[in-house]
Chain A
Amino acid sequence: MTRHNPLDNRLLCGALGVAGLFCVMEVAGRTGLIDPLVFPLASTVLGRAAALVTDGEFLSDVASTLGAWALGLLFTVALAVPAGFLLGSLPRVESALRPILEFLRPIPSIALIPLALAVFSDRFDMKVLLIVYAATWPVLINTMYGLKDVDPLAKETLRSFGFGKSAVLWRVSLPSTAPFIATGVRLASAIALIVGISAELLGGGAQGIGSYVLESGGNADAVEYIIAAAIWAGVIGMVTNGLFVLAERRIFRWHTARTEVV
């Protein structure tokens, strides 16, 4: 009981897993199991990834991708949350729009890139629009779902004190739905990054991590650059997701604490 096992630490355990995979890859490359000419050594890729931090061109591409990501996510929240509240509180409107939503939802946003390219002359606008399209779904669905989950007794409590409909919406429905919206935004943030980089790759954007990968394709050691850039894309995704999780835990402690008790 008193002895503390260091492997109980999740962070340490995770770091060991990453280091383990790195060693396996490195050994596989050095022993010739994987031809280093086809797939570069793990240490080479890591070195390249580290060098990218001082590469001004790469950094401005990262900034461009993150800019489109942030702007897209902002528009998504501004659009999907009110839309979710509207659909969630007006069942007739929801029934009318349901078939359209169900038709649009499964269309992969990547498939819309040619269309977006034809319509938008500005690549950045196109990227942001595709992000908004793809990221809207989880936020919209979660907002509607969260609104359905609002406890009718909580609403009646406020009503019984003489509060009107708008006060109930603002003081009960919105705060109780907020944790669901936050989860939707976290899912949307990952989607936004994926769609943003995909749009850069497929749409041949002038800027962004995807464009950097495309441009490195001409180099002799292209694979090395591509993997190094992909590593950074993964790190950005992991960090943003982690920040969202931390924020959710802090702000919505009441939500998790309550569900743990019940």
Chain B
Amino acid sequence: MLEITNLSHTYGNGPTAHNALGGIDLKVAQGELVCIVGPSGCGKSTLLRSIAGLLRPSGGQVTLNGAQVEQTPDNLAVVFQDYSRSLFPWMSVVDNVSLPLRRKGMDKRQRGQAAMEALEEVGLDGAAAKYPWQLSGGMQQRVSIARALAYRPALLLMDEPFGSVDAQTREDLEDLTLRVRNLHNMTIVLITHDIDESVYVGDRVVVLSKAPAGIVGDLRVDLPGPRDQITTREHPDFVHLRAEVGRLVRGMRSPSPSAS
């Protein structure tokens, strides 16, 4: 459903030009949860912004359900790392969640209902009338996730979504993401720099090299489900995969033939 062909991007020109993406080819199937992991500053966010149509890449193309992405497509939602900046402080939680639904041609009542359902799914129906800044960081990120869920996007992009919350909240949000994804059979591309997280959450882990980013590994994660923060993380396959991804991220050669 998502197809990226020979995507490249260079910021600026002349001697100060920064080549962020160096020809990326990637296919994501319907219902897949793909984690993209790579060293910091490798161009992960540039890749995400190109998929979302927020940035016009220098070369290559992105197609979503067969249509080429030129401007921001309306069947896509993004959950950003910085929830406090991404949620609108002048609106209540429920209004934040229902605002994007205006694009769907729903009336006020339908929007409110869909927003409440999404808030229920993330366990925040009690906070609907509150303002985002009255909630903790983890709760605010739940609101962002609810906003994306209510929109029912064909593709959900998540840019370091759990990078600004504490470890406990991070695990909760990872499990929440897995739960809603199973419930709605969503297609998700999640960008992270956390190797463990990519293996725990993903069906597939795509490893990017340092800038200009290229794909250096594409590993299928076959862990027994349902995933669990304790048992999954001590499973031998998990331990093996995270080592494999770790080596790829650091640019080391694998000691044995690839696990995928």
Instruction: Tell yes or no: A160 within 8 A of B by CB.
Output: yes
The dominant DSSP class at the A interface is helix
Q: Is the CB of A157 within 8 A of B86?
A: yes
Which residues A153-167 have CB closer than 8 A to chain B?
A: 153-154, 156-163
**Cβ-based interface call for B223 (8 A):** no
Residues of B within 8 A of A175 (CB): 88, 90
From known contacts A153-B82, A257-B133, infer whether A160 and B77 are also in contact, taking CB-CB under 8 Å: yes
Residue A172 is within 8 A (CB to CB) of chain B in the complex: yes
Contact A153 B77 (CB under 8 A): no
Does A151 reach chain B (CB closer than 8 Å)?
A: yes
Residue A211, interface by CB 8 Å: no
CB distance from B206 to the nearest CB of A (A): 21
Minimum CB distance partner of B86 in chain A: A157
A254-B131, A257-B133 in contact; A176/B90 too (CB < 8 A)? yes
Which B residues lie within 8 Å of A163 (CB)? Answer: 72, 100, 103
Chain A residues positioned under 8 Å from B201 (CB to CB): none
Output the residue of A161, A162, A172, A262 with the most chain B CB within 10 A.
Answer: A161
Write out the residue numbers on chain A whose beta carbons fall within 8 Å of the beta carbon of B88: 154, 172, 175
In this assembly, does B74 line the interface, its C-beta being within 8 Å of a C-beta of chain A?
Answer: yes
**CB of A250 within 8 A of chain B?**
no
User: Is A255 on the interface with B (CB-CB < 8 A)?
Assistant: yes
B52 A151 Cβ-Cβ under 8 A:
no
Bound Cα distance A160, B77 (Å)? 6
Q: For the complex, is A171 an interface residue (Cβ under 8 Å from B)?
A: yes
Separation of A175 and B89 alpha carbons in the complex (Å): 10
A254 touches which of B54, B73, B80, B90 (Cβ 8 Å): B90
Residue interface bits B72-98, CB-to-A below 8 A is 1, else 0: 111111101010111011100000000
16 residue pairs from A and B, CB less than 8 Å apart: A153-B82, A156-B78, A156-B80, A158-B100, A160-B77, A161-B100, A161-B151, A162-B74, A163-B100, A171-B99, A175-B88, A257-B131, A257-B133, A257-B134, A258-B133, A261-B133
Chain B interfacial positions (CB closer than 8 Å to A): 52-54, 72-78, 80, 82, 84-86, 88-90, 99-100, 103, 131, 133-134, 151, 157
* A→B interface (CB under 8 Å): 151, 153-154, 156-163, 171-172, 175-176, 178, 254-255, 257-258, 261-262
6 nearest CB pairs, A to B: A162-B74, A161-B100, A160-B78, A153-B85, A254-B89, A258-B133
